[in-house]
Structure 1
Amino acid sequence: MIRVASVGECMLELQARGPGWHLGHAGDTFNTLWMLRALLPPGAETDFITAFGDDPFSDRQRDFMASQGIGTAASPRLPGLRPGLYAITLDAAGERSFSYWRSDSAARRLADDPAALRLSLAGRDLIHVSGITLAILTPEARRVLREELARAREGGALVAFDPNWRPALWQSPETARAAMNDLLAICDIALPSWPDEGALFGDADPEACCRRLLSLGVPEVALKLGADGALIAAPGAPGQTIPARADVTPLDTTGAGDGFNGAYLAARLEGHPPATAAALANRMAAEVIGVYGALAEPGALRRCWIEAGRDNGRAGR
């Protein structure tokens, strides 16, 4: 049985729709796990590792995850805390702007109990984490998280990391670079985005970004290029650009990169090589931007996955 975990913050999501608002649940690492849950076999174990409050909205989140077959392992419930909240507004082209209320989010304390975190991460085949996960934690909590990820990796888990730099969450770019490089040192699959990486690290172009990550010892890089697809790189192998679909008109770009991450990791867990995984992930990202919000309907995702697999020369199931 495949056992996967994603570590981070699931927020309440307010999505502007016509004259009103739709309340949902989303966050970069949760969105990635949502895609993994939709695409992996029904028997796979998928858990979202975080910390919850004890309020009705936290209860609603937990119930929602359970209804979708997503567990929460040993994630603690913390008295007096609550989920973070963000609101999305869209322009005519489907591009997003965000407003956040997350300063007292329970997820900021997901690494306060090292023993509970260790229990949640034990025995995993894959653990996904992001730069946003790092950004919401204190330096001491980042240290605990890294130690427990390294411990899980020693036990056989692959660690996948999306740097996902959000400047407003960090004290400074220097702090972000140091924390991300520290995590990249124990990373098996890096899932960065361009041009974010260039803005933070000063890379001249996507190829330079991949070379930097490989020089840090990362064995596999899938650099997201937005509408241009993805650039795949590994030590000793020339980078390969996998184009995105050109026939997609975005309705809402929320969660496109997270959807790519989840599909790429699902394909790698199924044994597909990076180039095939990126082609499948591009197809699934196109599915995500065709719906409002970050979470496309699981059945539709699964059907698209089967069709994409057939198109890429493999038997869908």
Structure 2
Amino acid sequence: MKLDVVTFGESMAMLYANEYGGLHKASTFSKALAGAESNVACGLSRLGCLTGWVSKVGDDQLGTFILQELEKEGVDISRVIRAKDGSPTGLLLKSKVEEGDPEVTYYRKHSAASTLAPADYPSDYFRMAKHLHVTGIPPVLSKNMREFAYLAMKDMKQAGKTVSFDPNLRLSLWPDRATMAHSINELAELADWFLPGITEGELLTGEKTPEGIADFYLKKGVSFIAIKLGKDGAYFKTKHEDGYIEGYHVENVIDTVGAGDGFAVGVISGVLDGLSFQGAVQRGNAIGALQVQAPGDMDGLPTREKLASFLSRSKVIHQKKGEC
């Protein structure tokens, strides 16, 4: 088997409210798949990339739901482990908002995914892929997952593969900001491509500008940094070039969750397709804009046809050189 991209992490069943307001007011919910890494895996699969996702899920109905949803999306789940020790699949509840970020409540403590450990690492499977995508969520969920993340990134680098890292900070899960910054920055040094948001970059480095944040990571050995600037687009920098890439105007922002994952999908697929870093960031901006116009965490992630239609309407030149 050959893969374009492999990733790992925790996916959860998500119940999202059908009525506006706080979760305590909601009376009906719809069910969907949630999880930053599986969002990216599904988004890449929709663009035609061969993608694999590795994790543990509970030997329960929610675990079955997650695996079925990923199979529907064309994501390879052949190395996912069903936990036999009673560890449950994670669950989250999400409110419905008219603007801004929704309220999210997690039920993931001692979940099956949090027990994913270095002993579970399938090096042969990971090395089938051209690229590894990692986020900062698994390392904070448990010591086992943190060690798994280090092992995966080091192994793929040693194999000559590229590695992208989205810090995806969850401040409430870390003991303090200093520990978070130290841990995330250690992992960033193992990445080729680093994809923080501007606020995340400030928290992690103390720098106040995109240029300063980018320089911080270039000095640590990262070769390509793309910093998300929300509605203002993104800034990118390598050793040889840098620039601001404008964002896309969105009339109706429905849900901001998943926008960063959409950006990662665009950047990763763009680079693998042979686009320039500028073109890849431009694609990231486009997919992020599409995602915020949809209610679910990945409902807005497009197929190639939908992406091409959006780009043509937005009058942005899309220099496609190939496909995953």
TM-score, normalising length from structure 2?
0.89
CA distances 1:36-56 after superposition (whole Å, capped 9, x unpaired): 11113xxx4211111111111
Question: What is residue 44 of structure 2 aligned with on the other side?
Answer: 36
Instruction: Give the one of 98, 101, 109 matched to 2:115.
Output: 109
Which AA in structure 2 matches 1:39?
L
Corresponding residue of 1:69? 74
SS in 2 for 1:125: strand
Counterpart of 2:24 in structure 1 is: none
C-alpha distance in 1, partners of 2:245/2:165? 20
What residue number does 1:264 align with?
267
Equivalent residue of 2:46, what SS? helix
Deviations 1:60-99 (Å, cap 9, x if unpaired)?
A: 1111211221112322221111221111113321422211
Pairwise CA distance, 1:211: 1.2
Could you say what the CA RMSD is over the residues aligned between the two structures, in angstroms?
2.0
Q: 1:245/1:172 Cα in 2 relative to 1: closer, same or farther (>3 Å)?
A: same
> How do residues 165-180 of structure 1 correspond to structure 2 at under 5 angstroms?
165-180=169-184
Local SS of the residue matching 1:195: helix
5 Å-filtered alignment, 1:158-197, equals 158-197=162-201
Q: Does 1:11 align with 2:12?
A: yes
Q: Are 2:285 and 1:282 aligned?
A: yes
Task: Identify the residue that residue 20 of structure 1 maps to in structure 2.
Answer: 28
Q: Is the 8 A contact 1:117 1:148 kept in 2?
A: no
Contact 2:16 2:95 in 1 (8 A): yes
TM-score, normalised to structure 1, is 0.91
Aligned equivalent of 2:22: none
Q: Matched residues in 2 for 1:50 and 1:22: separation?
A: 24
Output the CA distance in 2 between the equivalents of 1:12 and 1:231. 33
Report the count of equivalent residues.
310
Query: 2:201·2:213 contact (CA, 8 Å) conserved in 1?
Result: yes
Q: Does residue 152 of structure 2 align to residue 148 of structure 1?
A: yes
Report what 1:249 is aligned to: 252
Give the conservation status (yes or no) of the 8 Å contact 2:134–2:149. Answer: no
How many angstroms apart in 2 are the aligned matches of 1:61 and 1:12? 7
Q: 1:97 aligns with which of 99, 103, 112?
A: 103
2: distance between equivalents of 1:260 and 1:98?
Answer: 21
Deviations 1:227-278 (A, max 9, x none): 11111111243x3110111243201111011011011101110000111111
Matching residue of 2:222: 218
Indicate if the aligned counterparts of 1:75 and 1:110 stay in contact, CA closer than 8 A.
Answer: no
What amino acid does structure 1 have at the position aligned with 2:229? L
Q: Which runs of 4+ in 1 moved over 6 A?
A: none
Q: Give the secondary-structure state (helix, strand or coil) at the position aligned to 2:221.
A: coil
2:312 is the counterpart of 1:306: no
Q: Distance in 2 between matches of 1:165 and 1:31?
A: 16
SS in 1 for 2:79: coil
CA distance in 2, matches of 1:160, 1:90: 31
SS in structure 2 opposite 1:77?
strand
User: Which runs of 5 or more residues in structure 2 are unaligned?
Assistant: 20-26
2:17 maps to amino acid: A
Mapped to 1, the partners of 2:157 and 2:261 lie a distance apart of: 22
In 1, Cα distance between equivalents of 2:145 and 2:35: 19
Aligned equivalents of 1:262, 1:144: Cα separation in 2 = 22
- The one-letter code matched in structure 1 to 2:249 is A
